[in-house]
Each structure stands twice: as structure tokens, then as C-alpha cells.
Amino acid sequence: MRAFGCALAFGVGLAGGVALFAIEGLRVGGSLFKQIVNNKDIVADILPPPLYVVEADLEHFRT
């Protein structure tokens, strides 16, 4: 019974440590957060502009 209790306590402690490690990475300014922001900026550079921007641009140059 003591071995089971120790194993359970170790497992709970390990799960808590892993959770804290994951939260640190996702925090604003954390390593994973910076990676997500950089990938979002790359996708924004690749995607075409929204149609309402193109339409306004066409109207501007038509007149």
C-alpha cells in the first residue's frame, strides 16, 4: 500500500511538473508563443489581401 501511495504521489508530482512546463511555454513571451506569432506572420505574408481592400484599391485607381 505504501508503494502504491508513493507511486501515486510521484505521478501527481510529475504531472504537475509537466503541466507547469507546458504553461511556461504557452505564456505570452514564452518560446512556443513566439513560434506561433512568427508562423502567423508568415501566413499573413503569403495570403492574398482581403477582397474589400482590393475593391477599395480598384476604386481609387479607377477615378
For 48, which DSSP code?
P
Structural domain including 43 reads 2-62
Asked if residue 21 lies in contact with residue 13, where contact means CB atoms within 8 angstroms, the answer is no
Residues near 26 by beta carbon (within 8 Å), at least 6 away in sequence: 32, 33
Give me the number of domains the chain comprises.
1
The alpha-helical segments, DSSP class H, found in the chain are 2-26, 31-46, 51-62
Residues near 32 by beta carbon (within 8 Å), at least 6 away in sequence: 25, 26
pTM score of the predicted model: 0.48
Q: What is the pLDDT of residues 9-33, one digit of tens each?
A: 999 999 999 999 888 877 887 778 8
Average confidence (pLDDT) over 49-57: 69
